[in-house]
Amino acid sequence: MRRAGVLLHPTALPGSPVCGTFGTSAHQWLDLLADHGIKAWQLLPLAPPDSLGSPYSSPSSFALNGWLLDGEQLVVAGLLEQSDLDALPHGGDPGRLDLAGVDQRADLLAAALLQRFPQWNAALKERFATWRAQQSAWLVDHCRYWVLRRRFNAQPWWLWPQPLARRQRSALLALDREEQALLLQEALVQWQLQEQWQALLDHARQRGIQVIGDVPFYVAHDSADVWSHRRLFSAAADGSLSQQSGVPPDYFSATGQLWGTPVYRWPLHQLTRFRWWLRRLERQLSLVDLLRLDHFRALEAAWCVPGGDRTAEHGSWRPSPGGSLLRCLSRRYRGQHLPLIAEDLGVITPAVEALRDRYGLPGMKILQFAFDGDPENPYLPANYRGRNWCVYTGTHDNATCIGWWQQLSYEQRHRVERLVGPVQAPGWQLLELALASEADWAVVPLQDLLQLGDEARFNTPGTSEGNWQWRLSGGLEAIRGPLKGFGELAQRHQR
């Protein structure tokens, strides 16, 4: 069955003072999608973001973002009192995520949760204890890392005192004794995030909506993952990197892109039969129905740059055992179709395509990339081979379609209009092109449905300010009309 979907990260939902949450607005959003026959909701990673708000540079590959914890749901569940919520700050711009306010609000909400914990009944405490034990493989070190980051004023792990940076057993045991309350607090937050998200996921499935998640390929240098499993990454005990990630120079950048995250020590992952990777993927797949694997091409070969370099120019391609990793994952799925989407953008070789196709993974097509004048452009719908594609008008990293159209030259606009006719609503016209294609999925960012300009752009790669902060201002009812129009358009293109 072909599916049409909308890309919207939960932080952009309305209905809360500083940031969207897993609360009422998220459930209403699902109902709006279902009411209009829209069958997919795509998210960005649900992990905690970095200090700039990016969920692609997270301090944890397993945890959920504490910003998304909904206070009203905690009151309904009997875990907080209304007075706890009334004491929280309520300011903020409804159209922008408040990076300063959201951390403060999340900390206060977490502290209130810990304060009320002794009053919970025995059944609730037992449920929590069971969940905490089940998740211990990642939760223990995530909570330790979170507490230590607070203790040392957000300094990276390699600047902590050596016994803690190098994870000496006696130092970790002392931490567990000294910080029982804060360790418990973060575990409680993660439990309730899981409970609230699971309720959303159940709601989506009841309404026939497929939830599409996202997982970055690399993990942040300063993260619980690298601190607790340093030997699996190209990081020394002092935090220095022998190799770092990036992509080579190309038409867009003469020096390439230097991402600065550790690369994987693949021989050690192979020795452990990819235990860490499989736990990571299985954790993410437990949260969604389908998972987009970012930078898929690095599963075949990755651009590795010497650790001390300041540009990506002098890197080299190093082979990755992605085929072996996917084979191990496939065994756990007993040969069933892997619920992954390959983000196969960038320098894609026949070997990368062969790896994607060997496991039947859908690839991605971005219509904004289709109009360079090359009749063989792989993003032109006429050049799609087969139906196993997820086609987008644009993604979170692109300009909105109106912003994209405004930046095109006369020649580029002429190429677009030869395919879609006179352009009046570029997002909707690209969307119709996506729906008319052979692709099995057609996904549109909500900003394009609402015909918003680049003031609503979610992220501009290579920049560090103003990203990840757009929110839908006003109530959800205001978008019922565009969603209805999208659903009707999708129905006309169903086959």
| Token reading at 320 | 């990755």
Residue 495 pLDDT grade (very low, low, confident, very high; cuts 50, 70, 90): low
Q: Mean per-residue pLDDT for 402-406?
A: 97
Set 70, 84, 179, 343: catalytic member? 343
Residues linked to residue 302 through DSSP beta bridges, in sequence order: 318
The DSSP output letter for 23 is S
Of these residues, 176, 353, 357, 397, which one is catalytic? 397
Average pLDDT of span 17-46: 96
Q: Where do the domains of the chain lie, and which CATH numbers do they carry?
A: 3-492 (3.20.20.80)
The predicted model gives 41-56 an average pLDDT of 96
328 has a pLDDT exceeding 70:
yes
- 375 token code pair: 């009749």
**pLDDT value at 413 more than 60:** yes
Residue 353 is among the residues annotated as catalytic for this protein:
no
Q: Which of 70, 84, 141, 294 is catalytic?
A: 294
**Strands 3-7 and 243-247: what pairing?**
unpaired
Do residues 171 and 316 make contact, with C-beta atoms less than 8 angstroms apart? no
Strands 210-215 and 340-342: unpaired
Residue 413 neighbours by CB under 8 Å, 6+ apart? 405, 423
Cβ atoms 30, 206 nearer than 8 A: no
For residue 347, pLDDT over 70 is answered with yes
- 3 state SS of 248: coil
Give pLDDT tens digits for 125-160.
999 999 999 999 999 999 999 999 999 999 999 999
Active site residue 50: no
Q: What's the pTM?
A: 0.96
DSSP H/E element including 64 = none
Q: Is 107 a catalytic residue?
A: no
**Eight-state DSSP code of residue 241:** B
Phi/psi at 25 (5° precision): -60, -35
Calpha distance 105→109 (Å, rounded): 6
Please tell me the predicted confidence (pLDDT) of residue 346. Answer: 84
Q: What is the pLDDT of residues 284-324, one digit of tens each?
A: 999 999 999 999 999 999 999 999 999 999 999 999 999 99
Residue with tokens 């998220």: 26
- DSSP calls for 426-482: HHHHHHHHHHHSS-SEEEEEHHHHTT--GGG----TT--SS-S-B---S-GGGGHHH
**What are 113's strand-pairing partners?**
none
∠ Cα 401 405 409 (to 5°): 155
User: Roughly how many angstroms between the first and final C-alpha of the chain, as a whole number?
Assistant: 8
Contacts of 289 (CB under 8 A, 6+ apart): 205, 210, 211, 212, 339
Helix (H/G/I), strand (E/B), else coil: 342: strand
Q: What 3-state class would DSSP assign to 320?
A: coil
Q: What is the pLDDT of residues 87-127, one digit of tens each?
A: 988 777 778 998 888 999 999 999 999 999 999 999 999 99
Amino acid letter, 424: Q
